[in-house]
Structure 1
Amino acid sequence: MSDNKKHSSINTSGNVEPFLIEDVEWQTFSHGERFASRYRQLGEFGGCSHVGVCMEELSPGKQACPHHYHHLEEEQLMILDGALTLRLGDKTYLMQAGSYVVFPAGQKAGHSLFNHTDAVCRYLLIGERNPHDVIVYPDSNRISVRLAGEGYNKAATMDYWESEDA
């Protein structure tokens, strides 16, 4: 049906056509021994740029990404198969097939996913793709400013008038 390229569900007249999830190529991410996942960018494959939908798989013993929260972007997560541990703020929750959670924009409670089981966990992650988002990583005291494509250490904050000649 498709050729596994970005936006390949758009036909010659510019209309988006249905596609099989299996037609979307798996991509992988890893950083060190702790972080790794594989995912299919379903929304992007279909031509979407404002809402992201990914099918992700998290292997046993892996964490999907650093603990974080978004100022301008909301995310939603639905577990399809398997189980994992959600860390939300200072609490942890066991999530299994059929579990659903929403991370509203501006909710100052970091979230992260860890597969504590011996089987792969598959889930859908739905989120905005706000180019102006600011992401806070409470564990590392880091802030990422998506628009600038830069990250900062929160310990280096400055007062509004600091370093300005009066």
Structure 2
Amino acid sequence: MPKIDKDAAPRSSGTRYPPPHDEPCKLREWRRLGDAAGLTQFGVSLFRLAPGVWSSQRHWHSHEDEFVYVLTGELVLVTDKGEDILRAGDCAGFPAGQRDGHCLQNRSTDDAEILVVGSRNDEDHGEYSDIDMVFTSGRYSGKSGYRHKDGSPY
């Protein structure tokens, strides 16, 4: 198995969320380690969240499991049950179909790094718990999108 050079892995940053929902996530950055390894059944990404940056809006997935592991820093995990502090070595998992919106927020003064692992399912869809937005299926085929909860487009 070839070693993955994380510095050479494909990089991404920002968000595709429509305004104003994009604001807390605009400065997030990640490296697509799973893509660098040629993985197709699940994704693995190394995220860097600067102070004030969120991993996402609070959301849940219909068909995808998601797992996060904190490598460095301190983050606030926000779910329907409230807030928990996650520090280096802490982890959390979110089973597909569980309607418990989640996100990570960096409220500290230092950068945080997290490893995010999730399944890849083109039938996945879900909604954002705190805002009027849902995401539609087809993320991996390039047919994804965001809509209001009543189905109207952004």
TM-score if structure 2 supplies the norm length?
0.83
Distance in 1 between residues matched to 2:99 and 2:35, nearest whole Å = 28
- Residue 120 of structure 1, CA deviation: 0.2
- Does structure 1 residue 104 correspond to structure 2 residue 95? yes
- Residue 96 of structure 1, CA deviation: 0.2
- Residue 145 of structure 1, CA deviation: 1.4
**Structure 1 residues 144 and 33: alpha-carbon distance in aligned structure 2, compared to 1, 3 A threshold:** closer
Q: Which residue in the other structure is 1:133 paired with?
A: 124
The residue matched to 2:14 in structure 1 has which SS? strand
**Structure 2: where are the runs of 5+ without partners?**
none
2:134, 2:146 within 8 Å by CA — same for their partners in 1?
yes
- Residue 151 of structure 1, CA deviation: 3.0
Distance in 2 between residues matched to 1:72 and 1:82, nearest whole Å = 29
- Residue 136 of structure 1, CA deviation: 0.8
Bigger CA radius of gyration: 1
The residue correspondences of 1:134-153 to structure 2 (distance < 5 A) are 134-147=125-138, 149-153=144-148
Q: Which residue in the other structure is 1:115 paired with?
A: 106
State the percentage of identical aligned residues: 26
- Does structure 1 residue 22 correspond to structure 2 residue 12? no
Distance in 2 between residues matched to 1:25 and 1:149, nearest whole Å = 20
- Does structure 1 residue 76 correspond to structure 2 residue 61? no
- Residue 152 of structure 1, CA deviation: 3.0
2:76, 2:104 within 8 Å by CA — same for their partners in 1?
yes
Q: Which residue in the other structure is 2:53 paired with?
A: 62
- Residue 22 of structure 1, CA deviation: 2.6
2:4, 2:36 within 8 Å by CA — same for their partners in 1?
no
Runs of 4+ residues deviating >6 angstroms: none
Q: Which residue in the other structure is 2:29 paired with?
A: 38
- Residue 33 of structure 1, CA deviation: 4.1
The residue matched to 1:126 in structure 2 has which SS? strand
* 1:126-161 CA distance string (max 9 Å, x none): 00111110121121232211235333322459xxxx
The residue matched to 1:154 in structure 2 has which SS? coil
Distance in 2 between residues matched to 1:45 and 1:102, nearest whole Å = 23
Distance in 1 between residues matched to 2:115 and 2:132, nearest whole Å = 28
Q: Which residue in the other structure is 2:149 paired with?
A: 154
TM-score if structure 1 supplies the norm length?
0.78
**Structure 1 residues 27 and 156: alpha-carbon distance in aligned structure 2, compared to 1, 3 A threshold:** closer
